[in-house]
Structure 1
Amino acid sequence: MPTEVALLESRALRVEQMGRVDVLDKVKSLVMLPDGIHVRTDDVARYFEVSTATVRRLTDRHQEELAENGMRLLRGADLQAFHSDMVSLWVGEGRESYPQAAARLRVYTRRTVLNIAMLLRDSDIARCVRAYLLDAERDLRAGYAALEHRVTRVESCLAGVGAALQELGPVLGRMSHRLDSLDRRLDTTHQVVGAMSVRLGHVSENVVRIDARMDEIAHNLKDLSRRTRKQR
C-alpha cells in the first residue's frame, strides 16, 4: 500500500493516479478559465493556498513531468491566439476585462493541478488531495482482495465438483448401460403386446363368425321343430 511519502517521491506512483482528477473538487473548488480547461499560475496558487513563487519553483523543478500532464508555457503567436479565445469567452460571460500577461503565460490543466498536488509538500490542500487519493487506493485494494478471496472460494468449490464428477462418472456409465438395456426390453415388450393385439383381433373375428353360425343353427332347429309338430 503506497504512503504519502512514497507518492511524493515516486513518479511511477504519481502516474498511476493521474486519472483521479475528480478528487480535486472533493477537496476544494478549482476555478477554471472561461474555456473550462485551463488555469493560470495565480489560480493554482489560490487553490493550494500558497504563493505564486512557490508554484513557480515547483514547476521549474518538475517541468518535464508537469509538461507531460498538460502544463504549457505560451509565448508569441500561441499566446495571442490563447488570449483571443479567452477574451471572447470572458466577454461572453459578461465580465468587464480579461487580464492578459505581457510576454508569456503558463497554463495548467486539471491533470497538471493533480500532479502538483502530489508534489507540493507545504500545503494543507495538497495533503488533503493526497489523502483522498490514498484512501481511494486503499478501498480499491480492499475490494480487489475481497474479490480475490471470493474467486478463490469459487475455485475451491469447482475443484470439489470436479472430483465428485470424476467419482460419479463410472456410476453414471453403469446407469446409462442399464437404461439402454431397459429400453431394449421395453421395445421387445411392445413388440409382443403388438403381436398379441393382432391375435386378439383375429380371435374376435372368429367369435363373431361363430356367433353368427350359432344363430343360424338355432334358426334351423326352430324350423325343424315346427315342421315336426305339423306332421303329427
Structure 2
Amino acid sequence: MPTEVALLESQALRAEQMGRVEVLDKIKSLVMLPDGMHLRAEEVARYFEVSTTSVRRLTDRHQRELVGNGMTVLRGAELQSFHSEMVSLWKGEGLGSYPQAAATQLRLYTRRAVLNVAMLLRDSDIARSVRTRLLDAEEDLRAPCVSLERRVTRIEGCLADVGSALQELGPVLGRMSQRLDSLDRKLDVTHQVVNAVSIRLTDVSHDVIRLDARMDDLAHRLRDLGRRTSG
C-alpha cells in the first residue's frame, strides 16, 4: 500500500487517484465559481487554509502536471470572455460585484486539479486529511483483492493435491479397467453357452414330445393285440 510520502513524491501514484474527486467534499465543502466547474487560486487557497501565494508557488513548480489534470491559464480574449461570463453569473446569483482582478492571466482549477494540489501541498492540514482519506480508501479497496488472492491460492493448492491423487490413482484405474474388460469377455462367453444350452433343451423337448407320441402309439397297438388274443 502506498504511503503519504510516496503520494507526495510519485506522480504515477497521484495519477492513480485522480478519479477520486468526491473525497474533497468529504473533508470540506469546496466552493466553486458560479459556473460550477472552476476555482481560482484564491478559492483553492481558502479550501486548503493556506495563502494564495503558497498555491501559486506550488502551481508554478507543478504546472505541467496540473494542466494535465484540468488546470487552465486564460489570457487575452479568453480571459475577457471568462470575466464577462462570470460577471453575468455572479449578478444572477445576487453575489454583488464580481471580484475581477487586473491581472493579465488567470489560472482556473477544476476539481481534478484541486485534488492534484491536495496530493502536492505539504503544509496544509486539509491536504493531509485528503491524502489520508485517499490512502484509507485504497486500503479498503485492496482488502477484498487480498482475500480473493488468498482464496485462489488455497483453491490452487487443493487442485494440485487432487491432481497428485489422480496421478496415483491412474495405474489402479487402469488395472480395474482391464479387469472389467476381462469380465465383459467372460460374460459374453457365458451368454453364448447359455444360448447353446437353451437351444439344446429345446431340441430335447421336441424329442420328448415325439417319444411320448410313439409310446402312446405303442400302447394302443398293445391293447389291440390283447383284445385279438383274448377273442
* TM-score bin (small chain): 0.7 to 0.9
Q: Which amino acid aligns with 1:133?
A: L
Aligned to 1:110: 111
Aligned to 1:228: 227
- The CA deviation at 1:190 is 1.9
Aligned to 1:17: 17
Q: 1:200 to 1:61 in 2, by over 3 A?
A: same
Q: 1:157 to 1:224 in 2, by over 3 A?
A: same
Q: Which amino acid aligns with 1:228?
A: R
**1:156-214 Cα deviation digits (max 9, x unpaired):** 33333333222222212111111111111122222222222333333344444445555
Q: Which amino acid aligns with 2:194?
A: V
Contact 1:83 1:100 in 2 (8 A): no
Runs (5+) with no aligned partner, structure 1 = none
- The CA deviation at 1:130 is 0.5
- The CA deviation at 1:115 is 0.8
1:59-208 aligned at under 5 Å gives the runs 59-79=59-79, 95-96=93-94, 99=98, 101=100, 104-208=105-209
Q: Which amino acid aligns with 1:72?
A: T
Contact 1:74 1:104 in 2 (8 A): yes
| Distance (whole Å) between structure 1 residues aligned to residue 133 and residue 158 of structure 2 | 38
| Distance (whole Å) between structure 1 residues aligned to residue 70 and residue 82 of structure 2 | 15
Q: 1:199 to 1:12 in 2, by over 3 A?
A: same
Q: Which amino acid aligns with 1:50?
A: V
DSSP 3-state at the match of 2:152? helix
TM-score (norm 1): 0.75
- The CA deviation at 1:100 is 8.0
| Distance (whole Å) between structure 1 residues aligned to residue 108 and residue 211 of structure 2 | 119
Further displaced range: 66-75 or 103-112: 103-112
- The CA deviation at 1:129 is 0.9
| Distance (whole Å) between structure 1 residues aligned to residue 3 and residue 60 of structure 2 | 25
| Distance (whole Å) between structure 2 residues aligned to residue 182 and residue 72 of structure 1 | 86
Q: Which amino acid aligns with 2:6?
A: A
Contact 2:86 2:98 in 1 (8 A): no
The share of aligned pairs that are identical, in percent, is: 69
| Distance (whole Å) between structure 2 residues aligned to residue 203 and residue 28 of structure 1 | 109
| Distance (whole Å) between structure 2 residues aligned to residue 196 and residue 96 of structure 1 | 114
Aligned to 1:7: 7
Q: 1:95 to 1:169 in 2, by over 3 A?
A: same
Further displaced range: 29-38 or 105-114: 29-38
**1:118-174 Cα deviation digits (max 9, x unpaired):** 111232221111001222333445444444433333333333333322222221211
Q: 1:143 to 1:223 in 2, by over 3 A?
A: same
